[in-house]
Chains A and B, each alone.
Chain A
């Protein structure tokens, strides 16, 4: 009987495993080495998460690891023209604020040219070419005082270095959802993934039962074929299936690309693994149960639905998780078999188009990427045991 089935019937969860034979290495060295590896593996994702909730301006100019400290930005603002001046105590004054409201910035240094922006501290007064002196304060307010009336028609620029206080926000998510249709894509991904997970499991369950518990000529051959089909590259199927869909579309006057075709395609592509895993599991179910059911006069159909299916729950769960993650994360099948209109663009495709049009807008990309990975992460962390079990059954021995 198949060894994988035994592995699957007696799963070892990650946590409560018996201890492996111990090697006494330097204890601290072990902790340190593992810590470095874990850091290498998690930092990229942490960077994405942290960045996705940072202020877009801050994200663009400073590394995410500095997210908690203030960042320096170099900016310039134009001063008002002579038209805005007021006369006070015999002097002419222009007042205002260089910073926008609620910008979260404080001015550190300023100057009248890009080259001298670091020369004067906030609060200093410097001489202006258009006459008079200007004082710029840390909060952005300025006061430009001259003894003679201002006459300039174009406001000169003030260049400054501002400190940006760290700011965390969900604006990036709002923007990527509202302007870039991530919410729609999310719904599309669900629309694609749920039926395409359930259909192959139903089909595979019956086939696996037949291959595990019914005797018929050609059974071994079929198992061999399924093991062979496990590794057939998807690239082989794309064109022929698409051509088939086009012919069907022509004949019946329907769209060639759409959810229906993609569900069925995912069913076809996912079946070999689903059948393989389920059959291995079912072969390992105790023979006595089957025999006693047969003795009681239960038909195959009844044995299958009332006994084998409930007993196979762990295997079914593993397969459902695999298939769901595979579809949710797939790009190629979605590119080929789904249309490009809004109501068929799934998350992976949407992310690709974000990459294409906003390749450097990291506030959008990080938020968009997180939206696309949040469901798999939840599935993964909550159902890790089943996931691991399925992996072990699929490959060990």
Chain B
């Protein structure tokens, strides 16, 4: 109970502090640079201008502070730490990177991450597109979409428990309680300890993320499909295009830019994937990924140098998407 009060109090105080800041700073500005009756015209205008110059920074100040402390400064600090030893006090130059590039697990994690990058966004977009097209054609499409969208609300950890249950293994001869092994046994094969099978286990972890993210792809792509003008499709139909041709030659090209957006968004999520691997295998049996490897070096082994070097590798992998996002945004906004 005490904790609930504490949390409630925190909300009130935090919100109060920020409101007080915004209101107070604003009031102070008006007060300090007031233009009472009778102020010489030139002076009044000058003060007006000064107020207009300062006010935006009052509004945006707290946000800038947060962004600087929690995102901008850390990028530079992590880059610096990656050039220092395990306690961050001894300059080692590029030793951490040299070690990294000679480290077997790092390459395993990199190769796995590449696998995730190729497979997860592709299958999410493919499934999302198929479901969006199908759901628009049946009366229960809304319910179907809702159900497929639902995993988006579930945490990676919760999803991991759900899927570990799907993959559970019981020795041969005993009833299987995991649905995957039950299917396999019903088809006449031997049950498997899925999470310990090389390569396949990584894919089974990817399935979890695909399960979560397909709903996202579906929602965005469904909206884009609705944006295609009916006339375009009708014209193609009159010209004798088959349904398959309409889908591949008209619909897909029309929503290509949206597909790329979905693709890149999921790419970023994939690069940062941590919870699923942490909960399912913790990188055992050849399933390591960069984010989990970074966590292990930084917080289990306590080596901030090597951990930071791995973080920098993830950051470098993100950069092309960042650049592309910015370029796209600038094109949309146009000049000014």
Give A residues with C-beta under 8 Å from B.
Answer: 2-4, 7, 12, 14-15, 17-25, 30-31, 33-34, 37-38, 41-45, 47-48, 51, 59-65, 71, 187-188, 190-191, 194-195, 198-200, 202-204, 206-207, 209-211, 214-216, 219-220, 222-241, 243-244, 259-260, 263-265, 267-269, 271-272, 275, 299-301, 304, 325, 328-332, 335-336, 343, 347-348, 351-352, 355, 360, 362, 365-366, 368-369, 372-373, 376-377, 379-381, 384, 388, 391-392, 395-397
B322 near A228 with CB under 8 A, answer: yes
Contact with B63, one of A23, A187, A203, A355 (Cβ below 8 angstroms) = A203
Contacts of A238 in B (CB 8 A): 74, 298, 311
A25 touches B137 (CB 8 A): yes
Chain A residues lying within 8 Å of B178, measured Cβ to Cβ, are 63
Complex alpha-carbon distance, A45 and B137, angstroms: 26
Are B177 and A61 in contact, CB atoms less than 8 angstroms apart?
A: yes
Q: B106 on the interface (CB 8 Å rule)? A: no
Taking each of B71, B182, B257, which has the highest tally of chain A beta carbons within 10 Å of its own beta carbon?
A: B71
Give the docked Cα–Cα distance between A45 and B151 (Å): 9
Q: Could you count the A-B residue pairs with CB atoms below 8 Å apart for me: how many are there?
A: 371
Complex-state Cα separation, A301 to B75, whole angstroms: 33
Q: Sorted from nearest, which 6 A-B pairs have the closest CB atoms? A: A268-B70, A329-B155, A207-B63, A380-B153, A21-B233, A240-B77
Q: Is B157 touching A269 in the complex (CB atoms < 8 A)? A: no
Contact with A along B203-233 (1 / 0, CB 8 A): 0000000010010100110111110101011
Contact of A12 among B153, B156, B223, B336 (CB under 8 A): B223
Instruction: Give every chain B residue within 8 A of A30 (Cβ-Cβ).
Output: 134, 137-138
Please list 28 pairs of residues, one from A and one from B, whose beta carbons are closer than 8 Å in the complex, sorted by A's number: A14-B146, A21-B232, A37-B148, A44-B162, A187-B4, A190-B7, A191-B6, A194-B7, A199-B15, A203-B62, A207-B64, A214-B56, A214-B59, A231-B268, A231-B325, A236-B74, A238-B311, A239-B78, A244-B69, A304-B59, A325-B153, A332-B274, A335-B295, A368-B161, A373-B155, A376-B155, A377-B153, A384-B146
Scan residues 238-262 of chain B and give those whose CB is less than 8 A from a CB of chain A: 243, 246-247, 251, 257-258, 261-262
The reply on B307 being an interface residue by CB < 8 A is yes
Judge whether A397 and B332 touch: CB under 8 Å.
yes
Q: Contacting A62 at CB < 8 Å: which of B72, B177, B222?
A: B177
When the two chains form their complex, are residues B136 and A195 in contact, meaning their CB atoms are under 8 A apart? no
C-alpha gap A198/B220 in the complex (Å):
27
Residue of B nearest to A371 (CB): B158
B110: chain A residues at CB < 8 Å are: none
User: Given A33-B134, A331-B278, A351-B157, 17 other A-B contacts at CB below 8 A?
Assistant: A17-B226, A38-B144, A41-B147, A45-B151, A61-B177, A62-B175, A64-B177, A191-B7, A214-B56, A236-B71, A241-B69, A259-B6, A299-B26, A328-B155, A355-B161, A372-B157, A380-B150
Q: Which residues in A have their C-beta under 8 angstroms from that of B288? A: none
B34 CB, min distance to chain A CBs, angstroms: 12
Query: Are the C-beta atoms of A233 and B311 separated by less than 8 Å?
Result: yes
- Cβ–Cβ < 8 Å partners of A71 in chain B: 175
Chain A residue with Cβ nearest B225? A20
Binds A, one of B36-44, B94-102, B115-123, B163-171: B163-171
B222 surroundings in chain A (CB, below 8 A) = 17, 20
**Across the interface, which residues of A come within 8 angstroms of B152, CB to CB?**
380
- Let me know if B71 and A198 touch, CB within 8 A: no
Residues in B whose Cβ lies below 8 Å from that of A225 = 67, 72
**Contacts A34-B138, A220-B336, A397-B261 given: A191-B154 contact, CB under 8 Å?**
no
Smallest CB gap from A19: residue in B? B136
Q: Name the B residues within 8 Å of A384 (CB-CB).
A: 146, 149
Least CB distance, B209 to chain A, in whole angstroms: 13
Residues of A near B200 (CB, < 8 A) are none
Query: A23-B246, A62-B175, A369-B161 known; A227 and B315 CB under 8 Å?
Result: no
A174 nearest CB across to chain B (Å): 19
In the complex where A30-B138, A233-B315, A331-B274 touch, is A373 in contact with B19 (Cβ < 8 A)?
no
Query: Which listed residue (A14, A263, A300) contacts B14, Cβ 8 A?
Result: A263
In the bound complex, residues from chain A placing their C-beta under 8 Å from that of B56 are: 210, 214-216, 219
Q: B131 contacts which chain A residues (CB < 8 A)?
A: 34, 37
Decide if B158 touches A373 in the complex (CB within 8 Å).
yes
CA distance A241 to B78 in the complex (A): 10
Residues in B neighbouring A366, C-beta threshold 8 A: 161, 165
Chain B residues near A348 (CB, 8 Å)? 155, 157-158, 275
Please give, as numbers and ranges, the residues of chain B lying within 8 Å of A234 by CB-CB distance.
Answer: 272
- A377 contacts B63, CB within 8 Å? no
Asked if B91 lies at the interface with its beta carbon under 8 angstroms from chain A, I say no
The answer to whether B216 and A391 touch across the interface, beta carbons within 8 angstroms, is yes
Q: Is B134 a contact of A37 with CB atoms below 8 Å?
A: yes
Query: Would B314 and A224 count as touching, CB distance under 8 A?
Result: no
Contact of A392 among B174, B220, B307 (CB under 8 A): B220
Of B148, B225, B308, which contacts A239 at CB under 8 A? Answer: B308
